[in-house]
Amino acid sequence: MPSVQALSSTPSDVPQIVPHALLPFLRSQSQNTLTRLYQRPSSCLSILRLLGPLERQLIMNLLWLESAIPVSTMAAWVVPDGKKLYSEALSVLVGLHIVQNSTVKLALNPTLKSSLRQAITGGGTTASFGVPAERDEKRLPVGIDSLDAYALERWETILHYMVSSGQEQLPTKPSQGVLYLLQRSGLMQSTNGSNLQITSAGFQFLLHSPHDQLWSLLLQYLHMAEERQMDLVEVLSFLFMLSTMELGRNHHSCSQEYTADSLSETQKAMLEDLRDYGLIWQRKGSSKYFSPTRLATTLTCHSPPLPTSTTPGTSATTSSTEVALSSTAGPQGFIILETNYRVYAYTNNPLQTAVLNLFVTMKYRFPNLVVGMLTRDSVRRALGNGITADQIISYLVAHAHPQMRKNNPLLPVTVQDQIRLWELERNRLKSAEGFLYKDFASQADYEYVLAYAKQLGVVLWESPAKRSFFGTLEGHANIRGFIERRSGAS
Amino acid sequence: MDSEVDKPSHLSVILDLSPTQWYLSARATNPYPLTIGSFLSQLLAFLNAHIGTKNENTLAVFGAFPGKSVMLYTSTEALVDEPPPLDANSYPPFRMVDTTVTRQILRELDAIEPGDEPPCALVGALTKALCYINRITLPSTSSTNVAEGSTHLPDPRILILSVSPDLSSSYIPIMNAIFSAQKLKVTIDVCKIYGADTVFLQQAAHLTNGSYIYLERRDALLQYLIMSFLPPPLVRKVLTVPRQDKIDFRAACFCHKNIVDVGFVCSVCLSIFCQPVPVCSTCRTKFPIKALQRLKSACPSPAPAPPRPLANLNNAVPRTTEATNHSTPGLR
Amino acid sequence: MDVDSDSDISVFGDEDPRVKGKGKGKASEKPKKGKVKRKAKEQAYTWEASYTRSWDTVQEDETGSLQGAVEDLMARDRRRRLLAPAAAIRRTIIRHLVLILDLSNSMMDRDFRPTRFDLTLRYAREFVTEWFDQNPLGQIGVVGMRSGLGERIGEMSGNPQDVLRSLSDRAKLEPTGEPSLKNAIEMARGSMSHLPTQSSREILIVFGSLTTCDPGNIHETLEVCTKSRIRISVVALAAEMKICRELSDKTGGKFGVAMNEGHFKDLLFELVPPPAQHATIRNAGSGSGLPPADLMMMGFPTRLPDTSPPSLCACHSDLKSEGFLCPRCMAKVCDVPTDCDICGLMIVSSPHLARSYHHLFPVKPYEAVASLDYTSQSTSACHACARPFPAAHLSGVVTEGLSPLGRYRCPDCHHDFCTECDVFVHDVVHCCPGCGK
């Protein structure tokens, strides 16, 4: 790890470990909150999974030690090149109060230690992995397929609502809670009381990977929960519990239901919200049982096996479930981009088509194929919406068709460059407020003042021929004072 | 894009489950006696730690039993018919691993006939592990997205937990397995839990860039396992793992299975002999008399440097007597 | 004509079982007959009959997809390689090879992409890597043919890195002028003349030109090569030349003209595995009929740990801590295999020797299982990788060693393996997971 540095933008050698979106939020919590959270084995396990590989290994190294070890002992295992990564990892752990802050000894938070040990050896009576419901003949088990379909439908409803908010025909509205959350997170806003409109942040959101999208919504949910005076520990541990639950059982291929009886009041209240997001499934709103969907059980996976990039709808249901299952191996790409700026998208999913429509001029639509062109206008429209060129490119990379993956580089260079150039084009004119200084009496005067202004670093433009220069607003007072002092002195 | 660095990894664990050796290991006369029961409980914690740290991590467990090798667990196939019931206090995949592995081991140990114990089928288990890794790393031909498979290569490792001594007859198959591991870019780690060092496994670890650890404090097995064998290769670049430093590159001769410093090698088939022979026993090549005389005169002592026997063959002696009485020690 | 076409049918039926083998049952037999007949009618010339019509052997399945057919072909292909005789146990293992590269103007032709020269360089590097992998005790030297001269590009060396380095600088190898086969072969011969008799001497020529510009009679050179048992193999990139064919025929080498990029690579890589010893017997000419064999004295070194105190090595006089100790004179050398610089003992590490043992003890070929024998225990999954076998077809015929059930059984341990493991075990592992041998 130490030897690799960010060199190019191809996805194969992006070495930077992006810390998980939830970690900064956890860091901002008090030690007390975190320690309460660590009481539950499932939370410990989930947090462990959210951390980077090095942090995980450090925790595991310390987990089975009975006493604290000297800092130098652990540091002795670090190779010289890895010192920086090691200290970064350690500071992450200290920030999360996983490792006790000490310069002499290293030890895990005792609460976390005992919970994590419990999680790994399987014991205790915390029931933090969810209490399974008794199998009941009357309640027919629901299959994984239908759970996937349900989660997908919920999730795409949200995205679809966002993407088509600017158009006339409105798709089905998500529930009020979801709308509020979208508005709250700044992904959509209502201008002068009219319908909700997608914001530029929202446009960017659409191009993110489903995993990122889910977590940024959940983060907003957590912030909202804080405001609604919900107990954060309860909220978080419920999310973590969901992420460690089992999606159905392999050989029955039907879901395992969990009972809601053991949940706290806060958590029961959350059931409804999470149902709206498609994270859990309930037979009825008032049901005592619930099943997590794939969206929930894959929360702590780093590569998102979300069923989002499937092609449901008009095609037969069998094919949609098939794709959903195969998507556990990774999202399946569907876009082919040619050097002539043509985009072929093998999809019949209205959501994917709509997202593409953000930056592609659509030409033809076939039952399983959409053809479009990347044009200057279409890309500029997207840029105008606040989407950046890099986001467009990374979306195309992330959803590239398997056939495209044989190419190196993956996207045609000309097209990548052109998209970037179109972005630069928008930045040709820059406006800055300031003052024009002209009509200097002599060349010497001009040069003297100019030198001073340059020293301050406030010169935006200069023209020796015209004996004038343009300075920023901030520098004006200084320059003016300088000129006055000089003219006063002479 | 963090998944690029934080790649999922595959771990194949090979358990050496020779009843005799485990019986010897559990004797109270040892400095740190280790019973198979406590070994298994520590091992299960290690396995759980591996699949627990990352959702996409995969695991396979192979057992080398006397004369037989068995796949005990894989994350891709269900080996037992009835999955264990869910329990609110344990993470379902952990429970799955624990029950499957224990159940399978018990079943195999119960099936062992009392009597002479054949040596453990370590080679079989090792080749099975390689075949399995070959299967999961190769993009399956039937899947539609062939290109996708190559980007999601789990980064494979094999961990051998060995208690038995080297079997000199398995030298060639083990070497062959090592070379195929090199080809597949598989790292072989070895933990010697009981008995003397094994030269073959030392070479296996060295040639595949793995680490070979001789377990000195056997009461600290779990800590050894976690610190040395849990980190995937990427983490090992930051946190080092212990390695052995001096490696024996000597070979066993074909005629007496002695380990030799200087040997005589057939130019046709590369068979190694500890002293000049007139005819190669492997390929039946006759060697010219002149060369024989020349070589004999080259080494002043006719049998060059009293050949040291394979160090670890010594341990194999008490095997047959004790095996009859204690061939199937229970797990607990 | 009628007779002719009939015989064509029989040719297709017998010699090209792929057509027949496609049909799993009798039902599909009929329409195919018609197809063959039609094809026979279309044939204008009898010579066409000897061509395999690859497009006819591929058939769409019910859904119109070629996937199944393609997979089938691939499996067949893999199997076929395995069925090649594995009998020749005596192979030359200590090999010496001089790689002669054509660096004449004709190598700038663009009929291979990007150019003949670039492709040759790329394949040569891959060849060297693979060659050393399989012949760890061998040595390779590189000679170029440029401006009518033979040019030494890389000295004989057993270190793949040395050889690769000599091939790495493209600018230094820029093709120019005419090639000279005689000069290059003489140079290669010179560098191999001192070698002991038990090692093989081989020359591999990659020849892109259609002319050679020699200072004397090349047939004399050929004569000398035959006498000193140098085996010359030629891979031609342009067309077959009489002299090239003669060179390889007379010395027992191989000759091939590359038809396309893939074929070029195949031709090169055919020369990677050690040649079977019997091939040389014909040309040995010696009375005994057996190739000369010898016992060699070899030392197995101890590797010093990286942490040992640094000392000077005997080969480069560099101060370094890691290295290998010669077991006889305790001199320190940097790398093995090598000859000890002090006492001249050949130092190899045992893994180097072991790398070639699989040539000596090959795994017995597995038998294709034709039908499930219910008396024997038949498992539902591959014994090696636990991949479940496809749901059994009722019965089938073993064609070209391809089991209709996708099962291959070891004759010794009677365990069943899947196609992939069958190939993997025989090609890579060289050890049967069932018997452990």
Instruction: Please tell me which of the candidates B74, B124, B287 has its beta carbon nearest to residue C293.
Output: B287
Cβ-based contacts of B222 with chain A (< 8 Å): 64
Least confident of A479-488, C90-99, C271-280: C271-280
Nearest C-alpha in B relative to A47:
B53
Averaged pLDDT for residues C282-301: 58
Give the number of residues written for chain A: 490
Angle at B198 between CA B193 and CA B202, to 5 degrees: 100
- Taking CB atoms and an 8 Å limit, are C300 and B260 in contact across chains? yes
What is residue C92's predicted lDDT score, i.e. its pLDDT? 67
Report pLDDT for C49.
59
Query: For residue A469, what is the enclosing H or E element?
Result: strand A468-472
Say whether B267 and C324 touch across the interface (CB within 8 A).
Answer: no
Residues A79 and A100 in one domain: yes
Q: Which residues in C lie closer than 8 A to residue B122 (C-beta atoms)?
A: 436
Say if the Cβ atoms of B91 and A122 lie within 8 Å: yes
DSSP E strands in A227-374: the ranges are 258-259, 280-281, 289-292, 335-337, 342-345, 361-365, 370-373
At residue C154, the 3 state secondary structure works out as strand
Q: List the single residue in B76, B123, B203 with the smallest CB-CB distance to C431.
A: B123
- A347 in a structural domain: yes
Contact A382, A366 (CB under 8 A): no
Residue A323 placed within a domain? no
**Confidence band for B330, pLDDT divided at 50, 70 and 90:** very low
Across the interface, whether the CB atoms of A82 and B53 are under 8 A apart is answered no
Q: Which residue has the higher pLDDT, A442 or B302?
A: A442
The answer, yes or no, to whether residue B47 has pLDDT greater than 90, is yes
Residue A324 lies in a domain: no
Q: Which tens digit of pLDDT belongs to each residue from B72-96?
A: 888 877 666 566 676 777 888 888 8
pLDDT score at A316: 31
Tokens (6 digits) for A391: 């986001």
Over 60: is that where the pLDDT of B3 sits? no
Neighbours of B57 (CB within 10 A): 19
Question: What average pLDDT does this structure show over A105-132?
Answer: 84
Mean pLDDT for the stretch of residues C230-257: 91
Tens digits of residue pLDDT in A143-184: 777 888 888 888 888 888 888 776 656 667 778 888 888 888
Mean pLDDT along residues A184-201: 76
At B238 the pLDDT is 83
Mark which residues 243-272 of B lie under 8 Å from A by CB.
none
Query: Which residues of chain C from 121 to 150 reach within 8 Å of chain B, CB to CB?
Result: 137
Residue of C nearest to B298 (CA): C297
Average pLDDT value over all residues in chain C = 75
The yes-or-no verdict on residue A417 having pLDDT over 70 is: yes
Mean pLDDT (chain A) is 79
Select from A17, A20, A56, A399 the residue whose CB has the most chain B CBs within 10 Å, as the one to mutate to test that interface. Answer: A56
Which residue segments constitute the domains of chain B, with CATH numbers given? 2-249+318-325 (3.40.50.410)
More confident residue, C389 or C141: C141
The answer to whether residue B310 scores a pLDDT higher than 50 is no
If one counts the domains in chain A, the total is 4
Residues A8 and B1: their CA atoms lie apart, in Å, by: 13
Which range (B21-30, C26-35, C161-170) has the least confidence?
A: C26-35
Looking at the structure, give the CATH architecture of the domain made up of residues C95-284.
3-Layer(aba) Sandwich (3.40)
Cβ-Cβ contacts under 8 Å for C145 (sequence gap 6 or more):
C100, C101, C102, C103, C104, C151, C179, C180, C181, C183, C184
Residue A30 domain flag: yes
What pLDDT is stored for residue B316 in this prediction? 34
* Rounded Cα–Cα distance for residues A101 and A115 (Å): 19
Question: How high is the pLDDT of residue A308?
Answer: 40
Query: With 70 as the cut, is the pLDDT of residue C4 above it?
Result: no
User: Looking at residue C104, what is its pLDDT?
Assistant: 92
Pairing of strands A280-281, A289-292: antiparallel
Give, rounded to a whole angstrom, the gap between the first and last alpha carbons of chain B.
46
Residues A160 and A183 in one domain: yes
* Residue A62, in any domain of the structure: yes
Tell me whether residues B92 and A245 touch, CB distance under 8 A. Answer: yes
- Chain B (83-102) residues lying within 8 Å, Cβ to Cβ, of chain A: 83, 85-95, 98
Instruction: Looking at the structure, tell me whether residues A420 and A441 fall in a common domain.
Output: no
| Range with top average pLDDT, A313-322, B220-229, C62-71, C79-88 | B220-229
d(CA A127, CA B81): 26
Are C62 and C27 in contact by the 8 Å Cβ rule? The answer is no
Q: Does chain A reach chain C with at least 3 CB pairs under 8 Å?
A: no
Which of A34-43, A243-252, C53-62, C150-159 is predicted least confidently? C53-62
Per-residue pLDDT, A332: 66
Query: Residue C353: beta bridge partners?
Result: none
Question: C90 and B71 in contact by Cβ < 8 A?
Answer: no
* Cα(C139)–Cα(C194) distance, integer angstroms: 13
Sign for the CA dihedral angle at C210, C214, C216, C221 comes to negative
pLDDT, residue B12, reads 93
Q: Which contiguous run of DSSP H or E holds residue C182?
A: helix C181-192
Confidence band (pLDDT; 50, 70, 90) for B44? very high
| CA-closest candidate to residue A341, choices A409, A426, A406, A416 | A416
Question: Are residues A20 and A106 located together in one domain of the fold?
Answer: yes
The stretch B318-322 carries a mean pLDDT of 33
Q: Work out the pLDDT band at C102, boundaries 50, 70, 90.
A: very high
Across the beta sheet with C332-333, the strand order is: B247-248, C302-304, C323-325, C332-333
Q: A248 or B50: which carries more pLDDT confidence?
A: B50
pLDDT for B159 beyond 90 = yes
A88-97, B11-20, B191-200, B241-250: the lowest-pLDDT one: B241-250
For chains B and C, count residue pairs whose Cβ atoms are closer than 8 Å: 204
- Calculate what percentage of chain A has a pLDDT beyond 90: 6
Domain endpoint, select from A269, A297, A325: A297
Say if residue B284's pLDDT is above 90.
Answer: no
What pLDDT band is residue A17 in, cutting at 50, 70 and 90? Answer: low
Beta-carbon pairs below 8 A across chains A and B: 184
Quick one: what percent of chain C has pLDDT higher than 70? Answer: 69
- Span C361-437: which CATH code? 3.30.40.10
**What residue segments make up the domains of chain C, in order of their start?**
1-52, 95-284, 298-357, 361-437
Q: In the 3-class helix/strand/coil scheme, how is B188-230 assigned residue by residue?
A: EEEEECCCCCCHHHHHHHHHCCCCEEECCCHHHHHHHHHHHHC
Specify the pTM.
0.74
> Would you call B262 and C345 a contact, using CB atoms and an 8 Å cutoff?
yes
Distance from CA of B224 to the nearest CA of A (A): 9
Tell me which residue range forms the domain holding A41.
11-121
Would you state the pLDDT for residue B286? 77
Do A346 and A400 belong to one domain? yes
CB < 8 Å to B266, chain C:
293, 295-296
Contact C303, B249 (CB under 8 A): yes
The percent of residues in chain C predicted with pLDDT above 90, rounded, is 19
User: Higher pLDDT residue, B323 or B200?
Assistant: B200
Integer CA distances (angstroms), A472 to A452, A461, A480, C153, in order? 13, 10, 12, 65
In what helix (H) or strand (E) does residue A105 lie, and over which residues does it extend? strand A105-106
Nearest CA in chain B to A79: B238
Mean pLDDT within A189-217: 79
Query: How high is the mean pLDDT of chain B?
Result: 76
B and C adjacent (3 or more CB pairs under 8 angstroms)? yes
Q: Mind telling me how many Å the CA of B184 is from chain C's nearest CA? A: 9
* pLDDT for position C233: 93
| Residue contact A244–B222, C-beta within 8 A | no
CA distances from A322 to A197, A219, C296 (A): 35, 31, 62
Q: What is the distance between the alpha carbons of residues A484 and B13, in angstroms, rounded to a whole number?
A: 82
Q: What's the pLDDT score for residue A309?
A: 38
Q: Looking at the structure, do residues A283 and A375 belong to the same domain, yes or no?
A: no
| Cβ-defined contact of C293 to B69 (cutoff 8 Å) | no
Interchain pair C298, B132: CB under 8 A: no
All partners of chain C with 3 or more CB pairs under 8 angstroms: B
Cα dihedral C403→C409→C410→C416 (10° resolution): 130
Residue A129 lies in a domain: no
Q: What is the pLDDT of residue B148?
A: 37
In angstroms, rounded to a whole number, what is the distance separating the alpha carbons of residues C370 and C256? 37
Average pLDDT over every residue of A306-326: 35
Render pLDDT for C324-355 as a digit per residue (tens, 0 to 9).
888 888 888 877 767 777 887 878 777 777 77
Pairing of strands A468-472, C367-368: unpaired
Contact at 8 Å (CB) between B292 and C295? yes
Closest CA to C66 of C75, C55, C77: C55
pLDDT of residue B299: 61
Measured between CB atoms, does C337 come within 8 Å of chain B?
no
Q: What's the burial of C169, exposed, middle or buried (CB within 10 Å: 0-12/13-18/19+)? A: exposed
Write the pLDDT tens digit of every residue in B209-268.
888 888 888 888 899 899 889 988 888 888 887 776 666 677 777 777 777 788 888 777
Contact B269 C71 (CB under 8 A): no
Q: How many CA atoms lie within 13 A of A180 on its CB side?
A: 9
